[in-house]
Amino acid sequence: MTPSLFSTISFPRKAILFYLQLGFLWLKFNCVWKFFRFLALLDGFDVPEDMRRCFSNTVSIQEFWRDWHASFNLWIVRYMYIPMGGNRMKHLNIFPIFFFIAIWHDIELRLIHWAGIICIFFLVELLFTHVLFCQGAPLTLMLARRPLLWRHLRTLGACVMMLQLAIVNLVGFSIGLGGAKQNLREMWMESPLSFRLLMLFYFYLAASIAIQARDQEKFEEQQRRIKYGLVSARDGTSELVSAAAVDGSG
């Protein structure tokens, strides 16, 4: 589709095309990696999975970057993240890491914008998680006693993360910062209310499925630990509750 033709279509159609473009980006990388991973397995090499989850199946920015290009993330953690201080300096070392990743892709202004926006969103998530959802905090304990409210808040947080990731990846890998500003303006001023509500409802459903999948994974992991005697059944249940309580972003 030519830019002149693209500019004439309505925003709802643009939004669907943007979403499909991001989905295609993930699918392309995933298929390429799985093909060559299959060849490596035939040759006796067990290389790690790479594109483990799509952007619409994530519950936090931190989790997204652990799963997107997961093999590259292992290299980043070993040779950049840990030498720069690891978790102790997480709020600072994300800046050189993401700007390095931007330049690693290509030296373009839109990728520099992408890295800066990612770092801002990342800092907000770290601050939000640290202040409101640290283990033992009164708010965390109160929400742990209200599982339904806690689940809806986690889902809402994951929904916000998905929207942020969709926007920032469009900035970096599709329409740039100027295009993102223009289309966000169109979304709130020109698109019908029904479309905006439907879009939010879709992301909320996707976030609900992602939350359910993470809870199921944690439960199955805990059951395996209990089965093989790594923890007692009582300790396993306590750890499962604690893990859900401190997982503020998802």
Report the alpha-carbon distance of residue 10 to residue 40 in Å, rounded. 45
Q: What is the pLDDT of residue 204?
A: 92
> CB under 8 Å to 120, separation ≥6 — which residues?
none
> What is the reported pLDDT for 97?
94
Domain boundaries, the chain: 3-247
CB neighbour class for 193 (10 Å; exposed up to 12, middle 13-18, buried from 19): exposed
Provide the whole-model pTM: 0.78
* pLDDT, tens only, 92-129: 999 999 999 999 888 889 899 999 999 999 999 888 88
Q: Which pLDDT tens digit goes with each residue over 59-100? A: 888 888 888 888 888 899 999 999 998 888 888 999 999 999
Q: Are 94 and 115 in contact (CB under 8 A)?
A: no
| Average pLDDT of span 26-43 | 91
Catalytic residue among 91, 105, 113, 152: 105
Is 105 marked active-site? yes
Going by C-alpha positions, the residue among 151, 164, 172, 195 that lies closest to residue 56 is 164
Q: Which amino acid is at 183?
A: N
Phi, psi of 201 (to 5 degrees): -65, -40
Tell me how far apart the terminal alpha carbons of the chain are, to the nearest angstrom.
Answer: 37
